Structure 1
C-alpha cells in the first residue's frame, strides 16, 4: 500500500455501528416506532375478550367510584361537580404514571430487541409514552361526553390549555422515562422506586382537593406548588373542561384557577424540554454499556 493510501486509511473517520443522534433518530424511524407502539398495544389486549373496550370500561368505573364515594357517601359538596374535577386530574396522572412506569421498564422488557437490532434505544421509552398517549383517547371521549352533559361549552383558551397540558406530560414523562430506563438496566431497584414515587403523584396535584385549599393554607407560598409541572397540567385540564361545566364558569375560574395559569404552563413546558435535553445527555453517556449489562 502506498504512503498516500495508508494516510487515507488512518485519517478516515470511524462511524459507529448504531445511530447516535438519540431522539432525532427516533423521529427518523417513525415506521419502526409505529410498529413498536402497535406491538405494545396488541400485547396489552392479547387474549382479552373485550379487548380495546377495557380502555373505556376502566376510566368509566373510576369516574363512577369517585362520583359515588365522594359525592353520595362522603358528600364532598364544597367542590361543584367534584367527580368531573377529579377525572380531569386522573387523565393527567394516568398519562404521567403510565409513561414513567412503563418507560422505566421498557429497555429491560425489550432486552432481546436491544441486543439483536441496531436501533436507537431511546425508541423504547418514547414508544411507552405514545402507548400511554393512545390510551388518553378513550378517557378524553368520556370526559368530553360527561362535560357536555353537564353543560360544558368549548372555548379556545380551554382547548389551548388542554393541548399545553398534554405537551407538558408527554415531554416530562419521556424525559424521566429516558433517564430511569437507562438506570434501571444497571440497577433494577429503579423500577420499584419509580412505582413508589408515582404513588405520591396524585396527592401532589389538585385532583382530590381543589387548588383553593392550597392557596388558603399556604398563602403566597402556594406559588411554589405551581412549580410542579404535573400540578400545572392538572389545573390546565380542569380549566379546559371542569370550569366550563360548572353553573358559573367565571366565578369558578376566579375562585379555583390561579392567575397566570397559562404562563405557568408555558414555563413548565420549557422546563420539561430542558429536562429532556439533560435526559438525552445522561442516556447517551450510558447507552453503550446497556447491551453488555442486559446479557
Structure 2
C-alpha cells in the first residue's frame, strides 16, 4: 500500500489567506471586472458616478459648513482642503463597506466552488481604487489651478497616506467581513462607523479646532487614528503647497504619528488576516 504524507492534505475550505490571494492575480482581475460590471449594469452614467457623488458631497459640505458655518475662515483655498479629505474618506468608506459585505454578497459562489476567499476582500480594494483615481484627477486639476507647488516630501506624504488607508480599510474589511458572515448586524455597525469616522476626521475642519477643544491626551488619541493621520498627510501633500503663507501641521505628524498610523493599520490587517484564516473554513456552511 502506498503511503501518502499527511502534509499533502489541507483542511477543506482553508487556505493561506493573503498569500493565496496574491498568487491568484488572474482570478483577482476577473473578480474586479465582475464587480465593476455588476455595479454599472443598466446604468446610464456608469463610471461617471465616481465624479458625481464626490461632487455633490463637496457642494453640500462647502455650502453648509464652509459658507453657513463659516468654517472656511482661516483656511485659504478651503475648497482644496475639503475635497482632498472627501475623496480619501470616500475611498475608505467604499473599501471598508464593500469589504465587510463581500463574503455575504458572494455567498452563492463561495458555496459552489473553492477559491481563495480573501480574493473577494482584495478585489474590493481594487474596485475602490478604480473609483478613487477619477476623483484624484479632479483634485490635481484644482490644485494646479490655484498654484500647487509640491516638493518630494509632499508627494511622498500622499503615497504614504494612501498606503495607510489601503491597509487600514483592508484590515477592517476583513474583520467585519468575518463578523458579517455570522452576524448580519455587522453591516449596520459598519455604516455607523463610517459616519462617525467621517465626522471625527479633520476633513471639514482643521485639527487646530480639536487641539483647542480637548486636553493634550485627547489630541494624542485623535492623532493616533490612522484616518486622521492619512487626511492630514493628504492636506500636507495637496492643500499646503497651494498656500502663500506657512501652514502648521499637527505636532510630530511625520516623525511620530505617521509611523504610529502605519503600525496601527498593520495590526488591524494582521488581526483581520488571522481571524479570516481561522473562520473561513466555515463560511460555506454559515452562508
- Range class of TM-score, shorter chain: over 0.9
In structure 1, C-alpha distance between the alignment counterparts of 2:70 and 2:229, rounded to whole Å: 27
- Higher Cα Rg, which structure: 1
Instruction: Say whether the 8 Å CA contact 1:162–1:236 is kept in structure 2.
Output: yes
In structure 2, C-alpha distance between the alignment counterparts of 1:198 and 1:69, rounded to whole Å: 20
| Deviation digits for residues 210-269 of structure 1 (CA, Å, limit 9, x no counterpart) | 011112222522122110010000000000011112222xx22x2xx1132123112211
Change (3 A) 1:113 1:147: same
Q: Which residue does 2:221 correspond to in 1?
A: 224
In structure 1, C-alpha distance between the alignment counterparts of 2:189 and 2:60, rounded to whole Å: 28
> What's the offset of the Cα at 1:13?
2.9
Q: Which residue does 2:79 correspond to in 1?
A: 83
| Deviation digits for residues 266-285 of structure 1 (CA, Å, limit 9, x no counterpart) | 22112211221121111111
Q: Which residue does 2:63 correspond to in 1?
A: 68
3-state DSSP class of the match of 1:289?
helix
In structure 2, C-alpha distance between the alignment counterparts of 1:67 and 1:187, rounded to whole Å: 37
Bigger shift: residues 262-271 or 20-29? 262-271
Q: May I ask how many residue pairs the two structures share in their alignment? A: 283
Does residue 13 in structure 1 map to residue 10 in structure 2? no
Instruction: Say whether the 8 Å CA contact 2:174–2:273 is kept in structure 1.
Output: yes
Q: Which residue does 2:267 correspond to in 1?
A: 274
Q: Which residue does 1:22 correspond to in 2?
A: 17
Instruction: Say whether the 8 Å CA contact 1:66–1:83 is kept in structure 2.
Output: no
Q: Which residue does 1:53 correspond to in 2?
A: 48
What is the root-mean-square deviation in Å for CA atoms of aligned residues? 1.7
The correspondence for 1:189, drawn from 173, 185, 188, is: 185
> Where in structure 2 are there 5+ consecutive unaligned residues?
none
> What's the offset of the Cα at 1:80?
1.8
> What's the offset of the Cα at 1:40?
0.8
Trace 1:250-269 onto structure 2 (pairs within 5 A).
251-252=246-247, 254=248, 257-263=249-255, 264-269=257-262
Which one has more relative contact order, counting CA pairs under 8 Å at least 6 apart?
2
Q: Which residue does 1:293 correspond to in 2?
A: 286
Trace 1:110-149 onto structure 2 (pairs within 5 A).
110-149=106-145
Instruction: Say whether the 8 Å CA contact 1:56–1:138 is kept in structure 2.
Output: yes
Instruction: Say whether the 8 Å CA contact 1:19–1:25 is kept in structure 2.
Output: no
TM score, norm. by length of structure 2: 0.93
Change (3 A) 1:197 1:12: closer
> Where in structure 1 are there 5+ consecutive unaligned residues?
none
In structure 2, C-alpha distance between the alignment counterparts of 1:22 and 1:145, rounded to whole Å: 39
Change (3 A) 1:270 1:74: closer
TM score, norm. by length of structure 1: 0.90
